[in-house]
A and B are shown apart, each in its own frame.
Chain A
Amino acid sequence: MDGTLPDQTLLEMYWTMLLSRRLDERAWALHRQGKIAFHISAIGHEAAQIAIASAIRRGYDWIAPYYRDLTLMLALGYTPREFMLSLMGKKGDPSSGGRQMPSHWSLKRANVISHSAPVATQTSHAAGIGLAIKLRGEDKVVITTVGEGSTSQGEWYEGVNWAAVHQLPVVFIIVNNLYAISVRQEQQMAVANAADKALGLGLPGVSADGMDFLAMYHVMKEAVERARRGEGPTVVEAKVYRITPHSSDDDDRSYRSREEVEQFKQRDPLVIARQHLEKQGLLTPSKIEEFEQRARELVEDAVRFGESAPYPDPEEAAYPVYAEEVPRA
């Protein structure tokens, strides 16, 4: 019974967050069981990502994400099976056919461009897409995400500056989870909020509580509509917390206390969303159990699917170097 979003949408948002969480947890377990080589988690970021997905026109607008955006990808139609193929480096992985590490997204059918590992390179790509949209006179919007650490890169400033100068339809999202691996925000920037950087580039910068899916949604919706109306870019900062270590290789005990982690776990976005929907009467214990059961089934199915899928032929590593070779791929 939220004023702006229909009940069905709210339930779907919760469902996607839950699926993402359970899939994510399973990936951690697979790593600890020695079954996958690498995983980089979205736990703690689910609300911010589902809010982003809900604020755009999926299948129409364009997305330049970064490696933590599992929930966002699921909301755009990426499937748990596809995620498992990518985690296990199997043939048929839609992002790269096994060429990239997991969580290096690309999904052409959902207008998600391919991204790499050097951070913030997607920022100017997003500006370039925005430029093309504007040159063509279309009303699409581009959203792009980075961590707060990436905003230290020259790449980020140049991309945002371009969009600001040319008033491009781009929303630049900074997912501030306080840590760039082990380096805390205070050692990354001199401003209190990452969004404050926007001022220096001539753009509005808005900070939102990224753990609250509705609070984030409202901020995102306004930024997206502004862009769509041709009023230019916005920098949106989603304040979240990275409940897990940076990746499956990281040991976070060397740079933060367990107390801090416990403190932030009190604001688990999944719990906040669930409590909100329970209060609205949209989620009951049996409904929750139904969702949990469905999530378990999808995750199990995905794991089995990934494990039984074949590896790419070694010779596939030889192409496609040039676009002329694409039919072979």
Chain B
Amino acid sequence: MVTQVVMPQLGESVVEGTVTKWLKQKGESVQEMEALLEVTTDKVDTEIPSPASGMLLEILVPEGTTVQAGTVLAWIGEPGEEIPQGAVPIAQDLQTKPESIPQRSEVESGLVMAPSPERQVGFISPVVARMAKEHQIDLSQVKGSGQGGRITKKDLLAYLEARQKQEPAAVAAQPIWETPADGDLFRPTELVFGQPLPEVTAPTQPLSGRLIPFTTMRKAIAEHMIASKHTSAHVTTVMEADLSRVVAHRNAHLSEFAQQGAKLTYTAYFAAAAIAALKAHPLVNSSFTAEGLLIHPQINLGIAASVGEEGLIVPVIKHADSLSLLGLARAINDLAQRARTRQLKPDEVRGGTFTITNHGVGGSLFATPIINQPQCAILGVGVIQKRVVVIEDEFGNDALAIRPMVYLSLTFDHRILDGAAADAFLAKVVERLENFSA
């Protein structure tokens, strides 16, 4: 193995040095610690001991040359060993520079539009500007009692109080003689007497209310959703699945999984079933492109997670098809937790090939989820509910049973799949769940 000889940093503020004399020539052998060359800086003159034993294979910096600290001066190794070509000198980072943390400004610039030129409102202080925006106040209507007629916070508060008192006064209905008829002059008599008087409604007021600016996340969700609708031909097909075996399996394995550090949720089962179905129907694990249908070699499963009021995010389990139920459970726990605490890395929300969304957590039975572009389909999981179902016994007799049931809503892109293919895929998901064994 070859060893670099580097220009050391010979002093706290020294950044470069000059090679004054090579004490060994190329091809000579050298011992570790033996004096190899002499260098000089403006603070120190010194001998550099060899960092290794071997042959001096190559001298890169000749005598009389000045280089930066950290520059590779020479290579030592066994005779005939190859030296890395174009090797970038590794400057020794003897000081770590603190990373500058970008400041997140919480302050929004809410400058109020200059009101009509009839009145100069004078200096607007930050709190006045903020409150005016929040309450949709036209500052030209506000009387100022501050210095030079300036509008103070108190003035605003007084104005708001007064405005509140005025609002309940209902807008007077327009008198009937001022409302138009439909413009027809001579109508059949029977219609004249059969027809009720035209309804009078007050002209609409401009909408008032509280304006909440959009967060970055909300804007992103809005754009993605509308773009998805404009891209794919969304069709949803719904089937139901009997989760008896899943429930039994889960109950039997809860504590065992917990001991292994994984909270076993139903999501893990839906994930496993979806993966099995994707393996059986690879056309679904695809993306529509102008050139053709791109089928993805690996299954990267996205699990939609809510981040509270702010919105939702879809962390992706890469290579989900290589994970066991335990592995899936672990991955789901981890990503969900980190989604909640906003600790996901950018890589972890990209590259998905199929998505599952648990819309049932709020009680929803079935839904028409929107495809997560550029995927082919999305599986919605409704609420798991005990329902009465009709089962056949071995004699072909019908009986009633109470089973934990769930509706699975698959929205698919009809550009890629027809109903039959989509149903086959969904049926596979159902079949996998109903016959679950890990």
Contact = CB atoms under 8 A, between A and B. Distances in A.
Interface of A: 29, 31-35, 37-38, 248-251, 253, 311, 314, 317
B44 A251 contact: yes
B6 interface: yes
A185 B188 CA distance: 128
Interface stretch (B90-98, B209-217, B383-391): B90-98
B44 A34 contact: no
Contact of A34 (B7, B12, B47): B7
Nearest to A311: B96
Contact of A38 (B12, B45, B47, B69): B12
Contact of B49 (A33, A37, A311): A33
A31 B14 CA distance: 13
Nearest to B47: A32
A182 to B, nearest CB: 13
A287 B5 CA distance: 36
Contacts of A37: 9, 12, 94-95
Contacts of A32: 8, 10, 46-49
A179 B281 CA distance: 83
A31 B99 CA distance: 27
Given A249-B11, A249-B12, A250-B44, A314 B96 contact: yes
Given A251-B45, A314-B96, A314-B98, A33 B11 contact: no
A34 B98 contact: no
Q: How large is the interface on B (under 10, 10 to 19, 20 to 34, 35 or more residues)?
A: 20 to 34
A76 B46 CA distance: 33
Nearest to B42: A251
Nearest to B95: A37
B10 A249 contact: yes
B43 A29 contact: no
A89 to B, nearest CB: 8
A33 B9 contact: no
B9 A34 contact: yes
Interface in B73-92: 92
Given A249-B11, A250-B44, A251-B43, A29 B69 contact: no
B360 interface: no
A38 B95 CA distance: 12
Given A34-B6, A34-B92, A314-B96, A253 B45 contact: yes
A261 to B, nearest CB: 15
Interface of B: 6-12, 14, 33, 43-49, 51, 69-70, 92, 94-96, 98-99
B343 to A, nearest CB: 15
A249 B44 contact: yes
Q: What are the 7 A-B residue pairs with the smallest beta carbon separation, nearest first?
A: A34-B8, A249-B11, A37-B94, A251-B44, A34-B6, A33-B51, A29-B49
B158 to A, nearest CB: 47
A31 B98 CA distance: 24
B70 A34 contact: yes
Contacts of A317: 98
Contacts of A34: 6-9, 69-70, 92
Nearest to A251: B44
Contacts of A311: 96
5 contacts: A32-B48, A37-B95, A249-B14, A250-B44, A251-B43
A248 B8 CA distance: 11
Contacts of A35: 8, 92
Nearest to A37: B94
Main secondary structure of the interface of A (DSSP, over half): loop
B33 A29 contact: yes
Contact of B8 (A31, A253, A314): A31
Of the listed residues A29, A31, A34, the one surrounded by the most CB atoms of chain B closer than 10 A to its CB is A34
B347 to A, nearest CB: 22
A209 B48 CA distance: 34
Nearest to B17: A34
Contacts of B96: 311, 314
Contacts of B11: 248-249
A49 B197 CA distance: 114
Nearest to A317: B98
B395 to A, nearest CB: 70
A305 B43 CA distance: 31
Given A37-B94, A37-B95, 19 more contacts: A29-B33, A31-B8, A32-B8, A32-B48, A32-B49, A34-B6, A34-B8, A34-B69, A34-B70, A35-B8, A37-B12, A248-B10, A249-B10, A250-B44, A251-B43, A251-B44, A251-B45, A314-B98, A317-B98
A22 to B, nearest CB: 12
Contacts of A248: 10-11
Nearest to B8: A34
A310 to B, nearest CB: 13
Nearest to B12: A249
A328 B415 CA distance: 57
B8 A33 contact: yes
Contacts of A29: 33, 49
Of the listed residues A29, A32, A249, A311, the one surrounded by the most CB atoms of chain B closer than 10 A to its CB is A32
B20 to A, nearest CB: 14
A98 B33 CA distance: 27
Nearest to A312: B96
Contacts of B47: 32
A250 B44 CA distance: 6
Contacts of B99: 314
Contacts of B44: 249-251
A305 B216 CA distance: 48
Contacts of B8: 31-35
A16 B6 CA distance: 32
A239 to B, nearest CB: 28
A29 B99 CA distance: 32
A249 B49 contact: no
Contacts of B14: 249
A100 B378 CA distance: 56
Contacts of B69: 34
